[in-house]
Amino acid sequence: MLDGISAIIFTSALGIGVMFSAVPVLIYQGIIALFATQIQAFVPEVLMDKIILEITAVGGIIIIAIGLNILQVITIRVANMLPSLLFTVLFVVLVHIWNF
């Protein structure tokens, strides 16, 4: 819904090309949603809960960085922080395997 409403607003401002970009976005998001429904078959529930908890914490830090950029308090290159999401998953899995 959010993408649809945003696309309507952007189409009115930027033209019909935005409407055509909806097709690849639908494909990407559809594939991600389909894989997300199957992840429970491969990852135990306890581990998934830990991963979600830690990714939520890292995502909160990234959102704070975005807010600081918008307020022009400090300039933070938020895109450089995106690999932290992958490293978070790797660290949680390693800690889960070693039972710390």
At position 55, the amino acid (one-letter code) is I
Task: Return the residue matching tokens 């429970």.
Answer: 40
pLDDT at 100: 66
pTM comes to 0.69
pLDDT at 56: 97
pLDDT tens sequence across 13-67: 888 888 788 788 889 989 999 998 999 889 999 999 999 999 999 999 999 999 9
At position 26, the amino acid (one-letter code) is L
Asked if 55 contacts 62 with a C-beta cutoff of 8 angstroms, the reply is: no
Burial degree of 83 (CB within 10 A; 0-12, 13-18, 19+): exposed
For the chain, state the CA radius of gyration: 18
